C-alpha cells in the first residue's frame, strides 16, 4: 500500500486506482488535468516500488525531464540519473546507477544508448505526456523495456486526443483514473474558466487542408495572414484582455518559398523568399496598440533568452507573451490570467494544452488550498485572490465549421454533447462561465429528456421493472461518449462489486465506460461532501432540487421515512 499522507484526495484516488489496475493488468493510464499534479501521483507510486527494482520515466522535452527529475527525487527520496543529450545515466552496476532514471525519448531512440539499459533491472516504466506514446519512437522503447514480463507500465497525460485514443488504448490496457478540468474546477483546485468567442469576418478555413489530425500549417498561416485578420485579432486581444497577464498562441514565425525556373533537369533555384510569419506580425501589431506590451518566443529562441523572457513575463515586465510551440507542455506561469487562441485547431490535445496554461491559481493561493477543509472553502479562496478566474479569448472563422475544437469541447467531458454544442453557441460575443453554463445546459437537457420519457411511459401499459432500467436513467445522469482509450468491454468484477456495494441498481447492465463514469461521479460527490446519486434521486422525487450535503440528505430522508410510517 502506497503512503499517501501528502497527497490531495483525488491524488489518493489516482494512486489507489493504479494499484487496482496493476493487480489485473501490466499497464494502465491516468488522465489528470494540467495543474493537478501528475508528477506528484507517479512519484509516490515510484517511491513504493523502488524495492522491487529500478524505475524509469520517459518524457520528450527538457522542461518536463528537469521537472520530473527534481520532483520525483524529492518525493521518492532517492538519487536520480538523467539520460538526455550529453548527460548519461549510470548503468546500475555496483559502480553506479541511480534507482531512478529520467530520460528523453530522443536519447533512448539511439540503439546504442537504449541497449545500455537492462529491462530486467526495471520494475516500473512511466511515460509522461502519454498521449505521445502512440508514436513509433515511444512504441520501440516501451516494447524494449516490456521484455521484462514483470515490468509495470504507467502513462500519465492531461490531453488524450480523440484521434489517438484508440491507439492509446492498445498501449495502456486499462484506465486507472480520469480527473478532468471540470472536476478540478468544481473541487476548488483550479480557477474558473470564462470563454469569449470572437468570429473573424475575414477568415475562411474551408479551404485549409488537414495534416496529421490538425490544420495544415502552411494553409493555416496563409488563411490567417491577411492583415485584416491579424489586426482584428490584435484589436480584440487588447480590448478583451484588459490588464490581465496574457499568453497568446499564434501559428507561425517564418514562411519560406523557393522560386524555380525551367523544367526537369534544367530546373534551377533562382530565389528564396523569406516572409515574416504571423506571430512576429501579431506581436508588432500589439505593440502598435500599446508600445512595449508584447514579446515573442518560439522554438528557435535561444534557451537563455527564452528563460529571461518568461521570467520577465511572470514578474509583470510586459503583458502579452506571444508564442509559437513553446508555452504548452512543461510550461508553468500561474500568473497567466488570460489565454488568447489566435490559431484555430482541430486537436483536442492542443486546445487543452493551450487553455491549461492559465488554469492554475497563483502560487500563494495554490500553497494555501491544501490546508482548506473542503471544495467550498477552496473556491472562495480562489474567488477572493488576485486571479479569481481565467479568460479565454477564442477566435473562430466565418464558416461555422463544426470540426473546430473550442474550450467547451475540452471542458465538457462530464456532460452531453448537446450541452457542449449549446454552450459553444452561448460563448459568442460575451464572456461565459463555461463550467456553470455546461452544468445548466446539461441539467435543462436532462430535465426535458425526463419529461419526454415520462410522457412516453404514460402511454405504455406494461411498466418496466425499476431494477431492469439503465442506472443512468434511474439516477438522472447524462451519459458521456466512451473515450477511445477506455476498454470496449463489459464492466470488470471490481466495478460491479463497488457499485452494488453502494446500492447502484443495474450495474451489471453497464459497459466498462458507463460503470467507471458512475464510480467517478460517486467519488467526486464524496470529495465535495455531497449526497450520493442514490440519495439525490430519492430526494428529487420528493421535490428537492439541486445538490445537498450528505448530512442534509440523511436528515431529509429520515424525515421522509418518518412521514411514511
Residue-wise pLDDT for 310-350, tens only, equals 999 999 999 999 999 887 777 888 999 999 999 888 888 88
Helices (H), 24-61: 38-49
Residue-wise pLDDT for 134-163, tens only, equals 889 999 999 999 999 999 999 999 877 655
Residue-wise pLDDT for 532-544, tens only, equals 888 888 888 887 7
Residue-wise pLDDT for 501-529, tens only, equals 988 888 888 999 899 989 988 888 888 88
pLDDT at position 464, please? 41
pLDDT at position 274, please? 43
User: Measuring CA to CA, which residue among 168, 100, 162 is closest to residue 129?
Assistant: 168
State mean pLDDT over 237-266.
80
State mean pLDDT over 49-54.
94
State mean pLDDT over 35-41.
92
186 and 419 Cβ atoms separated by less than 8 Å = no
9-179: in CATH 3.40.50.300: yes
- Least confident segment among 109-113, 169-173, 217-221, 313-317: 217-221
Please tell me what DSSP assigns to residue 87: B
State mean pLDDT over 84-101.
74
pLDDT at position 520, please? 87
400 or 506, higher pLDDT = 506
- Least confident segment among 104-118, 291-305, 422-436: 422-436
C-alpha cell belonging to residue 266: 534544367
pLDDT at position 541, please? 81
State mean pLDDT over 467-487.
75
398 and 226 Cβ atoms separated by less than 8 Å = no
User: Measuring CA to CA, which residue among 17, 53, 47, 46 is closest to residue 32?
Assistant: 17
Average pLDDT, the chain: 85
pLDDT at position 457, please? 59
pLDDT at position 42, please? 95
CA 449 to chain centre: 30
Question: CA 151 to CA 164: how far, in whole Å?
Answer: 24
pLDDT at position 399, please? 67
What percent of the chain clears pLDDT 70, i.e. is strictly above it? Answer: 89
Q: Is 367 exposed, middle or buried (0-12, 13-18, 19+ CB in 10 A)?
A: exposed
pLDDT at position 68, please? 87
Q: Where are the domains of the chain?
A: 9-179, 187-440, 453-563
pLDDT at position 528, please? 82
Question: CA 518 to CA 516: how far, in whole Å?
Answer: 5
106 or 545, higher pLDDT = 106
Task: Please count the other Cβ atoms lying within 10 Å of the Cβ belonging to residue 394.
Answer: 25
pTM across the whole model: 0.84
State mean pLDDT over 390-394.
95
Residue 273 pLDDT greater than 50, yes or no: no
Q: Do domains 9-179 and 187-440 have the same CATH topology?
A: yes
Residue 465 pLDDT greater than 60, yes or no: no
Task: Please give the span between the terminal C-alpha atoms of the chain, in angstroms, as a whole number.
Answer: 46
Assign a CATH topology to domain 187-440: Rossmann fold (3.40.50)
Residue 461 pLDDT greater than 80, yes or no: no
Question: CA 75 to CA 442: how far, in whole Å?
Answer: 40
Amino acid at each position: 500500500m502506497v503512503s499517501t499522507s501528502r497527497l490531495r484526495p483525488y491524488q489518493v484516488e489516482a494512486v489507489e486506482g493504479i494499484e487496482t489496475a496493476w493487480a489485473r493488468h501490466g499497464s494502465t493510464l491516468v488522465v489528470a488535468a494540467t495543474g493537478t499534479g501528475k508528477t506528484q501521483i507517479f512519484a509516490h507510486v515510484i517511491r513504493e516500488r523502488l524495492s522491487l527494482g529500478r524505475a524509469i520515466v520517459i518524457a520528450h522535452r527538457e522542461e518536463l525531464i528537469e521537472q520530473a527529475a527534481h520532483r520525483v527525487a524529492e518525493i521518492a527520496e532517492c538519487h536520480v540519473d538523467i539520460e538526455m543529450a550529453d548527460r548519461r545515466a549510470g548503468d546500475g552496476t555496483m559502480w553506479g546507477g541511480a534507482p531512478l532514471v529520467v530520460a528523453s525519448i530522443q536519447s533512448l531512440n539511439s540503439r546504442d544508448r537504449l541497449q545500455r539499459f537492462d529491462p530486467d533491472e526495471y520494475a516500473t516504466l512511466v511515460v509522461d505526456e502519454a498521449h505521445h506514446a502512440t508514436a513509433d519512437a515511444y512504441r520501440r522503447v516501451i516494447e524494449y523495456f516490456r521484455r521484462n514480463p514483470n515490468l509495470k507500465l504507467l502513462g500519465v497525460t492531461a490531453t488524450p486526443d480523440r484521434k489517438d485514443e484508440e491507439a492509446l488504448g492498445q498501449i495502456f490496457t486499462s484506465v486507472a483514473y480520469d480527473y478532468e478540468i471540470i472536476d478540478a474546477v468544481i473541487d476548488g483546485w483550479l480557477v474558473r474558466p470564462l470563454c469569449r468567442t470572437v468570429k473573424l469576418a475575414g477568415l475562411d478555413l474551408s479551404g485549409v487542408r488537414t495534416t496529421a489530425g490538425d490544420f495544415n500549417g502552411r494553409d493555416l498561416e496563409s488563411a490567417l495572414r491577411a492583415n485584416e485578420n491579424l489586426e482584428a485579432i490584435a484589436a480584440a486581444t487588447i480590448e478583451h484582455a484588459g490588464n490581465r497577464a496574457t499568453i497568446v498562441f499564434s501559428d507561425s514565425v517564418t514562411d519560406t518559398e523557393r522560386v524555380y525556373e525551367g523544367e526537369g533537369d534544367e530546373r534551377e533555384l533562382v530565389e528564396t523568399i523569406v516572409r515574416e510569419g504571423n506571430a512576429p506580425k501579431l506581436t508588432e501589431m500589439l505593440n502598435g496598440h500599446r508600445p512595449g506590451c508584447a514579446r515573442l518566443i518560439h522554438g528557435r529562441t535561444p534557451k537563455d533568452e527564452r528563460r529571461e523572457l518568461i521570467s520577465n513575463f511572470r514578474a509583470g515586465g510586459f503583458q502579452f507573451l506571444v508564442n509559437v510551440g513553446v508555452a504548452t507542455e512543461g510550461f508553468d506561469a500561474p500568473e497567466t490570467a488570460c489565454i488568447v487562441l489566435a490559431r484555430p485547431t482541430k486537436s483536442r490535445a492542443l486546445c487543452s494544452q493551450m487553455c491549461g496554461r492559465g488554469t492554475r491559481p497563483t502560487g500563494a493561493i495554490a500553497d494555501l488550498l491544501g490546508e482548506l477543509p473542503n471544495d467550498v472553502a477552496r473556491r472562495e479562496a480562489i474567488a477572493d485572490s488576485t486571479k479569481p478566474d481565467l479568460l479565454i479569448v477564442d477566435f473562430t472563422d466565418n464558416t461555422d465549421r463544426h470540426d473546430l475544437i473550442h474550450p467547451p469541447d475540452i471542458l465538457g467531458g462530464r456532460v452531453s454533447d448537446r450541452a457542449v454544442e449549446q454552450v459553444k453557441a452561448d460563448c459568442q460575443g460575451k464572456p461565459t462561465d463555461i463550467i456553470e453554463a455546461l452544468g445548466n445546459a446539461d441539467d435543462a437537457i436532462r430535465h426535458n429528456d425526463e419529461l419526454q420519457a415520462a410522457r412516453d411511459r404514460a402511454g405504455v401499459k406494461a411498466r418496466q421493472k425499476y431494477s431492469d432500467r439503465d442506472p443512468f436513467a434511474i439516477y438522472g445522469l447524462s451519459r458521456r461518449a466512451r473515450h477511445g482509450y477506455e476498454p470496449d468491454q463489459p464492466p470488470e468484477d471490481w466495478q460491479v462489486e463497488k457499485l452494488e456495494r453502494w446500492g447502484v441498481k443495474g450495474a451489471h447492465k453497464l459497459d466498462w465506460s458507463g460503470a467507471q463514469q458512475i464510480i467517478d461521479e460517486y467519488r467526486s460527490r464524496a470529495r465535495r461532501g455531497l449526497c450520493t446519486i442514490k440519495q439525490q434521486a430519492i430526494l428529487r422525487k420528493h421535490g428537492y432540487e439541486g445538490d445537498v450535503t450528505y448530512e442534509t440528505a440523511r436528515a431529509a430522508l429520515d424525515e421522509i421515512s418518518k412521514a411514511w410510517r
